[in-house]
Amino acid sequence: MKPARHHVPRHLLTDVDVAIVGAGAAGLSAALVLGRCLRRVLVLDGGPPRNAPSPAVQGFLTRDGTKPADLLRLGREQLMPYNSVEIAAGTVTDIEAMSGHFHLTIEGATGRTRTLSARKVLLATGVEDELPPLDGMRDLWGRGVLHCPYCHGWEVRNQPLAVYGRAKLVTGLALLVSRWSPDVVVCVEDPAYLTLNARRRLRQQRIQVREEPVVRLEGTRTGELRHIVFESGEKLARAAVFIHAHQHQRTQLAGQLGCRLTSKGAVWVSKQHQTSVPGLYAAGDTTPGTQQALLAAAEGNAAAISINETLTREECPR
């Protein structure tokens, strides 16, 4: 840890002021704001971000089309002048809430563990997508298999597209995707549950429904989709298939700490990005709401301001 430039007066001496768990858009953005507040910060980087399989981050003002790894590299580069901020590779495996501070257990790449104390912790750990268990899904994820038309619709506009999934989820997604292409086919896993109203809405939008079971996706070695293959052996040529991927928290840390979770499994936070555990904050995909890299960065920024203000209040009692 680099030496702290500014000593925190009248307060418990911990290794750092803030430990940020996760070095994606949310975590790095929070680190930038806290670095600018002269806070002692350690960012723990547990591996690639959620969008790592994707060729580019789209819709990020001034960075539209940047490779996901390049976005984070730029973020890290811009943290370099802030010498109270350190980024370390490591996975946080445990967080213990003490009275007024936290103890974190960090596992390095070699499996060695160490502990760290922090006054506040920000969870910026993101989510993991659950892909349908269909041959080819995982290989094409992020290029030929997509989840978000706002992220990828423009790149596949006016091309033959498909939407694959369960009856209760495909209709809304297919209607949305039809904004980007006039040629959308729905492949429904459980056609018996596709309501008459859903079928009518799809028909009105000229979206064809395919009810035969899909057995696999075929694509190129670089991840582009070529065909959807049905049980009969028939192949449907498509440029991309959209799915509604379920997701879960990338780590169990929030749950283990007893944080309140929403019905969808997101970490509940207040307007100040504070979880239900005092001193523990969360930002980015891990919290409820629209999931976009720019929004994750914005949430990291807001959480950092909230953390700094809380620390300042603690340091300057009335």
User: Least distance in Å: CB of 105 to ligand FAD?
Assistant: 10
Q: Is residue 277 a contact residue for ligand FAD (CB under 6 A)?
A: no
CA separation (Å) from 185 to 28, 182, 203, 225? 39, 10, 11, 14
User: Least distance in Å: CB of 141 to ligand FAD?
Assistant: 6
Q: Which of 214, 221, 204 is nearest to 241 (CA)?
A: 214
User: Using CB under 6 A, which of the segments 56-64, 130-138, 217-225, 307-315 binds ligand FAD?
Assistant: 56-64
Q: Is residue 26 a contact residue for ligand FAD (CB under 6 A)?
A: yes
Q: Is residue 75 a contact residue for ligand FAD (CB under 6 A)?
A: no
Tokens representing 27 are 């975590």
User: Using CB under 6 A, which of the segments 11-19, 131-139, 186-194, 289-297 binds ligand FAD?
Assistant: 289-297
Q: Contact, 40 vs 17, CB < 8 A?
A: yes
User: Least distance in Å: CB of 36 to ligand FAD?
Assistant: 19
Tell me the residue ranges of DSSP E strands in 67-193: 85-89, 91-97, 102-107, 113-123, 127-130, 145-146, 161-165, 184-188
User: Using CB under 6 A, which of the segments 113-121, 207-215, 285-293, 306-314 binds ligand FAD?
Assistant: 285-293
Q: In this chain, which of 42, 79, 92, 228 binds ligand FAD, going by CB under 6 A?
A: 92
CA dihedral 298, 125, 151, 70 (to 10 degrees): 80
Q: In this chain, which of 35, 75, 126, 136 binds ligand FAD, going by CB under 6 A?
A: 126
- Strand 161-165 to strand 240-243: parallel, antiparallel, or no bridges (unpaired)? parallel
Q: In this chain, which of 173, 293, 302, 304 binds ligand FAD, going by CB under 6 A?
A: 293
Q: Is residue 301 a contact residue for ligand FAD (CB under 6 A)?
A: no
Q: Give the separation between CA 302 and CA 286, rounded to whole angstroms.
A: 15
What lies within 8 Å, CB to CB, of 219 at 6+ separation is: 136, 139, 140, 143, 144, 225, 226, 227
Task: Find the length of the chain.
Answer: 318
Q: Give the separation between CA 166 and CA 187, rounded to whole angstroms.
A: 9
Query: Pattern of binders to ligand FAD over 230-259, x per CB under 6 A?
Result: --------------------xx--------
Count of residues that bind ligand FAD according to CB under 6 A: 38
Q: Is residue 31 a contact residue for ligand FAD (CB under 6 A)?
A: no
- Residues near ligand FAD, by CB under 6 A: 21-27, 44-51, 53-54, 57-60, 91-92, 124-126, 129, 142, 151, 250-251, 284-285, 291-294, 296
